[in-house]
Amino acid sequence: HEVNLVSFCQNILKQLKQVYKREITLEYDTSSLIVHADELKLKQVIIILLDNAMKYSQEKIEVFLEQKEQFAIIRVKDYGIGIPQEEIHNIFERFYRVDKARSRETGGTGLGLHIAKSIMKLHKGEIEIECNEGSGTTVKLLLPK
Ligand code: ATP
């Protein structure tokens, strides 16, 4: 289905802001960013990323949409504990969690990012982790247009 990522993300954020009681901002450089995607599955990916940002950070969360020639890009950025560089290749593994003792308090199974990655694969897209300078995590989703 054709999905306009701008209104799609606006709707998801509107729903989640009420549940999370956290500031979540959305920025975009175009009012219409169309991709072909399974809406429910894509929504699941975005919720997984926002849920992680909620669990592993305390401050506001930012979502950015960007239009590239061949890809639409969604970034979910937080200012939390971050992911150590040497763990980045592990975190997409099933059941993998960084620092089990620390993250036990926050709950979770370690499945979220694994599921997100399989859904992105289904869409012939990609998921990447970008380390923030300073602190925090940015997860980047690439979706073919
Ligand atoms: P769930 O399956 O409920 O999402 P989870 O958060 O443990 O549980 P993943 O979403 O797969 O599982 O994430 C794997 C691990 O990657 C997490 O346990 C956490 O250590 C790390 N991680 C994921 N997102 C972030 C983030 N935004 N900031 C810091 N660490 C993160």
Tell me, using a 6 A CB cutoff, whether residue 138 lines ligand 1: no
Closest Cα to atom 4 of ligand 1: 112
State the ipTM, two decimals. Answer: 0.95
In ligand 1, which atom is closest to the CA atom of 48?
Answer: 4
The model's pLDDT over 68-119, given as tens digits with 9 standing for 90+, comes to: 999 999 999 999 999 988 888 888 988 778 876 555 566 677 889 999 999 9
Tell me, in angstroms, the distance from the centre of ligand 1 to residue 23's CA. Answer: 20
**24-28 and 61-67 beta bridge pairing:** parallel
The pTM of this model reads 0.93
Q: Is ligand 1 within 6 A of the CB of residue 97?
A: yes
Candidate from 49, 55, 119 with most ligand 1 atoms within 8 A of CB, to mutate: 55
CB 125 near ligand 1, within 6 Å: no
Q: Token pair for residue 26?
A: 């959305």
pLDDT digits 0-9 by tens, 107-121: 677 889 999 999 999
